Every structure is written in structure tokens, then in C-alpha cells.
Amino acid sequence: MRYFDLKRQGDELKLRREICEAGRVLWQLGFAAASDGNVSVKLAEGLFLITPSGVSKRLLRPEMIVKINADGDIEGKTPGRRPSTEVKAHLRCYGERGDINAVVHAHPPVATGFAAAGLALDDRSLTEAVMFLGSVPVAPFAVPGTSEAARNAAALIKAHDAVLLANHGALTVGADLNRALYNMETLEHYAKVSLTARLLGGAKPLSPEEAKRCGKITT
């Protein structure tokens, strides 16, 4: 799979194509069933591209991607298309941190299982997760697409690059689309390892000192 690099974004069409490719990756991994999931990137100051509502991620085409402003209003023409219903959460995440240039929301099955159980992924059982994600908290439940759901997710994104959404799914962010997508993959891998370890009697976590040596840890 080729790299997504927002810092060399080129033109808008290139970004639209990359969002479509990211959507297909989510679908192929089983992270976005039916029309689930959404992807956005920061296009320029105050402008964003986001996947449309009600479209399977495997069927995305560049002309379907919706351009919006910081208020969520559509910019330009996208006939018959509306931005994802999760647009509020995406925009709140961008507003919380200036280093975020891409947001991915999906329903990876095992990580979403942890979200449904209200269990954070913070046992320090996987070095890669410690290095790239740190701890992964659970945002309190709110109806998807609402301002409350956006607030709950954004409050945790202030200090985390991945968040579980109670009874819903997961949200990851990154400095570019590649990083946000990788964070989603790492999150699901972490969830699988953590679940397996629990079935085998429980994980043996890294010590605080070992975790610190690996890198990023947030609480």
C-alpha cells in the first residue's frame, strides 16, 4: 500500500483519491461494513475534505468527497451528497489540536468490542501500541453524530491519538492520512493481542520503566 502524505498534498484531486483509497483499505480490513466509517483531511486553513454520508467505503469516487468549511457547511458543488453524519466530531478534533491533519472513524471489530464493553486499552501489553498510541481511553456514550458525541471524543483527543467510542467504534487522528490510518490498524492489532492475552490468563504488562523506554504513554 502506498503512503498517504498530506504534507506533500499536491492538488485537491490527489487528496480526494487518497481518501477513496483509505476508505477501500478500511473496507478490505473489515473496519467499515455497509456505509459505516468516515475519513477526513485538512485541505487548507478553514477547509476540509470528508467522505459522504450513506456510501460504502469500497464504492467511493473522488467526485463524491465533500468539501466543507469549519462550520460544516458545504463548499462548492457535490450534487446529491452530504458530509458524513460524524462531521461534528471531525471538526471538533481539528479544533482541539493544530497538529491534526487527518481523522479516521471506523468500527474495527475487536477494538469496537472493547468499546462496547466500556474497557480502555491501557494495559501496556504491546510495545508498538505503547510507542505509537499510548493508552486508549473510552469516550462516554452519546448518540453518534450529535454535538455531545463530538465533545466527548474531542475532549480525549486533546491528549490521545486514538479513542474508543462507547458502544460505537473508534476514532484516530494523525499529522497526515497515512498516520491516522496506521493508528487505526495499530489499535485493532492491540485489541486483538489484549483480548488473546486475557483469554490466556491475563497480559503481563511492561513495567512503567520499560514502557517509558519504549516511548509515548498518556493517561
- The ranges assigned to domains in the chain are 6-214
- Where residue 179 falls (left for φ over 0; alpha for ψ -120 to 50; beta otherwise) is alpha
The dotted CATH code for 6-214 is 3.40.225.10
pTM attached to this predicted model: 0.90
Amino acid at the residue 4: F
The candidate with the shortest Cα–Cα distance to 147, out of 215, 204, 95, is 95
CA distance 86 to 208: 36
DSSP string, the chain: -PPP-GGG--SHHHHHHHHHHHHHHHHHTTSS-TT--EEEEEEETTEEEEPBTT--GGG--GGGPEEEETTS-B-S--TT--B-TTHHHHHHHHHH-TT--EEEEE--HHHHHHHHHT--B-S---HHHHHHT--B-EEPP--TTSHHHHHHHHHHHTT-SEEEETTTEEEEEESSHHHHHHHHHHHHHHHHHHHHHHHTT---PPPHHHHHHH-----
The pLDDT value recorded for residue 212 is 74
Each residue's pLDDT expressed in tens, for the chain with a length of 219 residues: 444 444 444 589 999 999 999 999 999 999 999 999 999 999 988 999 999 999 999 999 999 999 999 999 999 887 779 999 999 999 999 999 999 999 999 999 999 999 999 999 988 878 888 888 989 999 999 999 999 999 999 999 999 999 999 999 999 999 999 999 999 999 999 999 999 999 999 888 776 777 677 766 555
